[in-house]
Structure 1
Amino acid sequence: MKSKYIFFAVSLFAALSANAQETYENAKLAGEDLNGTARYVGMGGAMEALGADISTIGTNPAGIGLFRHSNVSISGGLLMQSDGKDFSNGKKTNLSFDQIGGVYSTRSGQKSFINFGFNYHKGKNFDYILNAANSLDGSSQNKQSYIKGMLANENSGGFFVDKNKYGENIGYVNSTSENVAYTWSQIDYLYWNNLIPDKNTGRLNYESASGYNLARANTGYIGNYDFAVSGNFNDRVYLGLTFGMKDVNYKGYSEYRENFSNAGGVLVRDERKITGSGFDITAGVIVRPVAESPFRIGAYVKSPTWYDLTTSNNTRLVYSPSTTSVRSTDSSISNSYDFKMWTPWKFGFSLGHTVGNYLALGATYEYENFSNINSRVNDGGYYDYYYGQYYESSTADKNMNAHTKEVLKGVSTLKLGVEYKPVSNVALRMGYNYVSAMYDKDVQKDPGIASFGTAYASATDYTNWSAINRFTLGVGYQVKNFNIDLAYQYSAQNGSFAPFSNIRNISIPSGTTTVTESNVATTTDVKNNRSQLLLTVGYRF
């Protein structure tokens, strides 16, 4: 049986001195929304060969070379979630500022141009409310922490619990080590210091749960700032290069409740932030193979985004015991650390064709292998006294990256779009955008990995999301040098939510013998269905 089906796999690598972020947290930052100008969205994003739209600056910058005039545009609108319930820290409908940018076009010959462009667009909008509830039939979040402690060894996916000098229960690598195990998470700390040891007798036990309920509000964005130069040679070959910078602002707040089988329950309030920046480089080309035909072929490649990030959390556990002999507790823990993440390379191929001045057709295919996401450790650096700068070094987190290769996979994106002009100054648009699933089948979060991604974990839940289907409509109106464009996008995605990972028939020590334990979470079907209304106003010089 592959290790991705097993909750606690034996570690294949020695623990690093410091590690990085967890796979499911990294996946939140991967990929992009379909966003930009209303024309680009209205055509499903299938403009990487057609070009002449500022939004291609971040996909195929050769498209900037098709501008014949300088241009500026600004876009914004509404993002609306069709499911879920309004939460104290999030709303289902939100205003969004999505794009601002322009192209400066210069003629370098009779048929040649050199164009310069800048564009900001919201590459990812995190605004989303997740609700999930189901039965548990005796399993529980605290039982997961209990079993990890019973395993008593980091190499088995657990930890050895002992008191530190402050009288707190701490999970160590094993019974002889003084080092804290990387499998000892923040949620484990809260359970082992508030629930698992009986406050009166010290006896180790766990509470079974009958059901759970989770509400989470995600907010924030990834902002893309792209600078490009593009050349047009004899109106046949277009080349482009973009240098992009990214600004990450993510915040998630959740309330997870479990009702115990007998009485009482637990409430875990968790707030996590991820902030930081990144940069990438994109190169592209568009070619008209036949001089007499407007048919165009485009190709492009995007480098990894090299992220430098900080994650922080504050987690609070409120425990109401099932017996009056044990008092209720309210405890919290918070932490922060820096890490790096490199996304995979992205490759794209596109086709575009126009018929007269009334019809445009576009198609694009992209591929990005998310199993190659590289979690990295900030493990040192050096100070350059000559330039007066500090340079931070990093190494790959082998443990977490091995898990990422089992959980995530390559993703294909298909974009199709059409634009029809019934009259010269009115355009009608329609598009379809499909993104295949990022997550492999039968995968789950693994809190038995020796990594900072595990040690700093403050939540045990995860969601395996399926493919995304996006349907778009748009309309544009040109009046003198102004253009006004409106687009509507409907995005549908299903997912499977689990409050914690499954343990099935695992043997743990119990005195001189062993016992078999299972802790199986009941999954819940969830949806991420959203609508977007987007308005763009542009001006051509």
Structure 2
Amino acid sequence: MNIKAITAVMLASAAAVQMQAQSEVPAVGDSYDAAALSTEDLNGTARYVGMGGAMDALGADISTIGTNPAGIGLFRKGQVSTSFGFVNLQDAASFANANKTNVSFDQIGVVLSTRTGVSSFLNFGFNYHKSRNFNQILTAAAKLNGSSQSLQTTLKDMNGLLNKNSLAYSQLDDIYLGNLLLQEDPDTHEKYVVGYGGDMYDFNRATSGYIGNYDINISGNIKNRLYLGLTIGISDVHYKDYSEYYETLQPNQDHIDGVLISDQHNISGTGFNIKAGAIFRPIEESPFRIGLSVATPTFYKLTTENYTTIGSNVDKSAASEDFRFNTPWKFGISLGHTIGNQIALGAVYEYADYGSCDMRTIDDAYYDYYDGYHENSSSEFYMNQLTKKNLKGVSTIKLGGEFRPDKSFAIRLGYNHVTPMFNKGAVRDQTIDSPGVYYASTTDYTNWGATDRITAGVGFTFDKFRFDLAYQYSQRNGDFYPFMSYYSADYIDADNVRQTEVNECSPVSVSDKRHQVLCTLSYSF
């Protein structure tokens, strides 16, 4: 970067106050935040993971507390268990302080079982498990052929979207205008916006954090044929990502070689949901059973924080705001069957419409002397409309089996297929009039495809103790875009010719492949 660019960067701190002063606008996330916060990994006890999570109708595993609460009703003894292991990111390149392999504490819980009749039980359960592990390293690089991230800001200006009263004016637009694109004619002192074409880009992001779920359950059975359960869940979000986006620019009159944008993005907060489930045996003489489950949206209150720099170590924008977010409803149907004491087979189908995710702005908040804190929120119309276009209904199929050649030893296999969440043509639109754009300090997005998981495991029983070990391999592929393709409105140039400025961006194929090894130690009482 030349002297002119460095000088512009040094002026950034003076403009930082301007961005912070605008933070009275209600915050909200976008479609890609919704995708990250709504989805779950396959995680829990090693037995549950080893069978691919296909235990909703089989029950008697504490991990079903969060999928089909009636599964806790099949316990006949109390049990305490804890799970831990590690996750390895295959093919990930080193970046920042991120590690390819991370140790993970995944689950701890207890079930209390009380007999209430000859064949009836009333059970209570509590379980913590990590439903989402955000650890990921994503890298991408490609030619730009004249397009650029900063050119998007230029074209938004040409299309009249950079009015300071417009929510299509983003933090990143402000960074570029304050440090690179907004220039002044030395003779007339009139300010104008320039555009720089990009030659190529290099992108790196390290994501970390998790969503922890705390579930409280009550469940039981009626005549050992109908099992009912209810779970109240609390979710705790800890999401962090750090990214660096470097563009090499095409030769230009200002002799600027390239631009580096560094961004730290955090999301934290809590939410709650309610899950209900039932399992029944349609034939009294048969162990075959059918499970049904439903989960309300998780109602989140979240805080988003951005710390963004251009060049080296100069804060250009920093903002922290609260918003609300509701995940979609989730429905499940499951089948389970056992053959003697040796074989257990399970199948689960789940469905959730992620296009119905609800981003909400906090309109006002106040304290009442008598009733305490009050808050009103409303759906963010334009961002939710974009989410409906970007995201769709997702089907999850889980299959699993367990074979016990001996009562003290078990072998397990499982498989998952999760259909794609993103519609074809999904885009992180930086031009809609929404707080989700206003608080944007990055422009990249990835449209992930289907997820496939293969699992295997073994279990050992020693009197009242059990040790389970599971392995999981998961893979998904996606298309990465450093910014959306965008075009200016038609205009007449100096030669009286109608022109359209084009800022097109082609995707780069990326993948997320990971290996997990999980151990569970449990004790029955």
TM-score, length basis structure 1: 0.89
Deviation per CA, 1:190-249: give whole Å up to 9, x if none.
Answer: 111111123664443111111001110000000000000001111100000000000000
Residue number in structure 2 paired with 1:292: 285
Cα pair 1:70 1:540 within 8 Å, conserved = yes
Say which of 198, 204, 224 aligns to 1:215: 204
Residue number in structure 2 paired with 1:163: none
- Asked if residue 237 in structure 1 is aligned to residue 222 in structure 2, the reply is no
Report the CA distance shift for 1:514/1:317 in structure 2 as closer, same or farther (over 3 A).
farther
Shift of 1:292: 0.7
The one-letter code of the counterpart of 2:153 is S
SS, match of residue 181 in structure 2: coil
- Counterpart Cα distance in 1 of 2:363 and 2:429: 23
Residue number in structure 2 paired with 1:447: 430
- Asked if residue 304 in structure 1 is aligned to residue 300 in structure 2, the reply is no
SS, match of residue 489 in structure 1: strand
Cα pair 2:70 2:228 within 8 Å, conserved = yes
Report the CA distance shift for 1:20/1:249 in structure 2 as closer, same or farther (over 3 A).
same
- Asked if residue 142 in structure 1 is aligned to residue 150 in structure 2, the reply is yes
Moved more, 292-301 or 200-209: 200-209
- Counterpart Cα distance in 1 of 2:362 and 2:377: 5
- Counterpart Cα distance in 1 of 2:224 and 2:440: 54
- Counterpart Cα distance in 2 of 1:254 and 1:510: 37
Residue number in structure 1 paired with 2:178: 193
- Counterpart Cα distance in 2 of 1:337 and 1:514: 43
Q: How does 1:81-92 map to 2 (within 5 A)?
A: 81-92=89-100
The one-letter code of the counterpart of 1:428 is I
- Asked if residue 365 in structure 1 is aligned to residue 373 in structure 2, the reply is no
Shift of 1:18: 3.7
- Asked if residue 437 in structure 1 is aligned to residue 420 in structure 2, the reply is yes
- Counterpart Cα distance in 2 of 1:244 and 1:131: 35
Cα pair 1:42 1:489 within 8 Å, conserved = yes
Q: How does 1:274-423 map to 2 (within 5 A)?
A: 274-318=267-311, 332-387=316-371, 389-423=372-406
- Asked if residue 41 in structure 1 is aligned to residue 30 in structure 2, the reply is no
Say which of 465, 481, 495 aligns to 1:498: 481
Aligned pairs, how many? 493
Shift of 1:20: 1.9
Shift of 1:181: 1.3
The one-letter code of the counterpart of 2:173 is D
Say which of 113, 117, 121 aligns to 1:105: 113
Residue number in structure 2 paired with 1:472: 455
Deviation per CA, 1:90-127: give whole Å up to 9, x if none.
Answer: 11100000000010000000100000000000010000
CA RMSD of aligned residues (A): 1.7
Shift of 1:510: 6.0
- Counterpart Cα distance in 2 of 1:509 and 1:500: 26
Shift of 1:88: 1.4
SS, match of residue 57 in structure 1: helix
Report the CA distance shift for 1:396/1:118 in structure 2 as closer, same or farther (over 3 A).
same
SS, match of residue 521 in structure 1: coil
Shift of 1:384: 3.6
- Counterpart Cα distance in 2 of 1:455 and 1:32: 28
Shift of 1:28: 1.2
Moved more, 424-433 or 18-27: 18-27
The one-letter code of the counterpart of 1:186 is Q
Report the CA distance shift for 1:480/1:193 in structure 2 as closer, same or farther (over 3 A).
same
SS, match of residue 193 in structure 2: coil
- Counterpart Cα distance in 1 of 2:58 and 2:492: 65
- Counterpart Cα distance in 2 of 1:276 and 1:19: 14
Say which of 528, 536, 539 aligns to 2:512: 528
- Asked if residue 50 in structure 1 is aligned to residue 35 in structure 2, the reply is no
Deviation per CA, 1:273-298: give whole Å up to 9, x if none.
Answer: 00000000000000011111000000
SS, match of residue 24 in structure 1: helix
Shift of 1:405: 0.2
SS, match of residue 377 in structure 2: strand
SS, match of residue 55 in structure 1: helix
Moved more, 421-430 or 501-510: 501-510
The one-letter code of the counterpart of 1:231 is G
Deviation per CA, 1:388-418: give whole Å up to 9, x if none.
Answer: x112110000010000000000000000000
- Asked if residue 181 in structure 1 is aligned to residue 169 in structure 2, the reply is no
SS, match of residue 293 in structure 1: coil
- Counterpart Cα distance in 2 of 1:505 and 1:494: 32
The one-letter code of the counterpart of 1:223 is G
Shift of 1:383: 3.3
- Counterpart Cα distance in 1 of 2:151 and 2:382: 24
- Counterpart Cα distance in 1 of 2:369 and 2:193: 55
- Counterpart Cα distance in 1 of 2:374 and 2:116: 41
Q: How does 1:244-283 map to 2 (within 5 A)?
A: 244-262=233-251, 264-283=257-276
Report the CA distance shift for 1:141/1:226 in structure 2 as closer, same or farther (over 3 A).
same
